[in-house]
Amino acid sequence: MAASPAPSPLIVPPEIVTELRKALLKDLKDVSSAITDLVQEPNLQRRASRYRELAVRFVIRQQLQEAAGWPDDPPPDTQLMIRGHESHALVIECLTAHRDAHHAVRAFEDMSEKDPPERRGSVEWPQRSEHQQMPDRLLALENFLAANAPQASGSAPG
Amino acid sequence: MPGDIEESTDGCPVTGRTLVAPPAIVAELRLGLLDGYLRSVADELSAIVDELENDLGSGDMPCLSGKRVRLRTMTLAVETRLTLYETVGFPGQPLTEKILDGRATCALAVGVLTSQRDTYVARLAQNKVPERERRQALDTVRLLSEFLRTASSAANQSPRNAYGC
C-alpha cells in the first residue's frame, strides 16, 4: 500500500502553544494510565501490540513537549510548525481532548451554580481561577480546531 | 564476530555493541519485555505523573526541571526498549536467532534477561512449583545464566566471542 502524502505542516500560534503544553501533559497522564492497565492484559499478543502503540505515542508526545515547552517555561512568543502524520494527529487529538475538558468544566460549573455545595458530592471540583480565564482560551482553541481539524470542531457539549 | 568493546568509566561491566540471541533467549526477551520490564515502566511513569500533578496542582508556578530530565531519560529508555522490541518480535511470531545491535540495546537485553532469571529463581525458591514446571524453570535458569555469563565475558574480555563483540 502506498503511503499517503504528508500533510502540510500544522502551524500552531503562540496562544495555542500555551494550551498544547498542558494538553500534552494530560496525554502523558492518559498514556501512563493505559500502560498501568496494560500490565493486567492476559493476552500477550494483545499486550505486545498495544504496548508498541503506546510506546510510539509516548516518544512522539515527548518530542512535541520538547518543541512546545512546558507549563513552567516563559510564555511562547513564536509559532510552532508541526510536521509528520503522527505528530500532526497527536496535536489535534490532544487539543481536541483539552477543548472537550474545558467544555466539561464549564458545564460542571454551570450546574454547580444551581446546586448548593452540600449537594455536590465527592467529585473533584475545578479551580475557579482556571475557569475565569477560560472563554478567551476556549474561543482560540475552537477557532484553531475549526481551521485545522473541522471534523473535531463543535463536537463537544456546551 | 568482531566488534567494538567499550569500557565503562565507573568500573562496571559494559555490554558490547552486538549480541547474538539464540531463539530460546529471544523467547525469554519477549516475555521479559512484556512482563517485569513493562511493570517497571508503568510504575516509574506513574510516579512521575503523580509528582507532576502535585506540582501543577499546588497553585504556585512550579519548577519542573527535575521531572523534565527524568521524563527525557525515560523516553530514551522507552525508545531503546522499542528498538529491542521490534528486533525480537512479538509473542506468537516465529522464533529465530536475532542479532541485537547497539550498546544501549545490548545493555537493555542483559538487564531484561537478568530480571527474567531472577524471577524464575524467586519462583523456584518458593517450592510451590509443580515438578514439570520446576524442571522447565531450572533449564531456563541455566540457559539464561550461561547466556548472561558469556555476554558479560564477551564485553569484558574477548571481542571475538560468539555472543559478544
Which tops the pLDDT comparison, A50 or B57? A50
B2: left (phi over 0), alpha (psi -120 to 50) or beta: beta
CA dist list (Å): A149 to A67, A86, B65, B163: 21, 14, 33, 51
What are the grid coordinates assigned to A36, written together?
498501568
Cβ pair B68:A70 closer than 8 A: yes
Which residue in the block uniquely carries the three cell numbers 503562540?
Answer: A14
Residue type (1 letter), B84: L
Quote the pTM value. Answer: 0.76
Find, in chain B, the residue whose alpha carbon is nearest to that of A69: B68
Instruction: Tell me the chain A residues in contact with residue B63 when contact means C-beta distances shorter than 8 Å.
Output: 72
Q: How many CB atoms lie within 10 A of CB A99?
A: 23
> In this predicted model, what pLDDT tens digit does every residue of B71-111 receive, in sequence order?
999 999 889 988 898 999 988 889 999 999 888 899 999 99
Q: Are strands B18-21 and A10-12 parallel, antiparallel or unpaired?
A: unpaired
Can you give the pLDDT at residue A150? 72
Cβ pair B38:A38 closer than 8 A: yes
Instruction: Tell me the chain B residues in contact with residue A56 when contact means C-beta distances shorter than 8 Å.
Output: 82
A154 to chain B, any CB pair closer than 8 A? The answer is: no
B64 to chain A, any CB pair closer than 8 A? The answer is: yes
Q: What is the mean pLDDT of chain A?
A: 82
> In this predicted model, what pLDDT tens digit does every residue of B42-57 receive, in sequence order?
899 999 999 888 887 7
Which tops the pLDDT comparison, A115 or A97? A97
Residue type (1 letter), A85: H
Find, in chain A, the residue whose alpha carbon is nearest to that of B63: A72
> In this predicted model, what pLDDT tens digit does every residue of A51-104 receive, in sequence order?
999 999 999 999 999 999 998 899 999 999 999 999 999 999 999 999 988 777
Which residue in the block uniquely carries the three cell numbers 477543548?
Answer: A99
Closest partner residue to A28 (CB to CB) among B31, B49, B82 is B49
> What is the pLDDT averaged over residues B37-46?
88
How far is A142 from A134, CA to CA, in rounded Å? 12
Spatial contact of A62 and B75, defined as CB atoms under 8 Å apart: yes
The tally of CA atoms less than 13 A away on the side-chain side of residue B150 is 18
Instruction: Tell me the chain B residues in contact with residue A32 when contact means C-beta distances shorter than 8 Å.
Output: 42, 45-46, 48-49
Can you give the pLDDT at residue A114? 60
Reduced to 3 states, what is the DSSP secondary structure of residue B98?
strand
- Which band of pLDDT confidence, cut at 50, 70 and 90, is reported for residue B2? very low
A125 to chain B, any CB pair closer than 8 A? The answer is: no
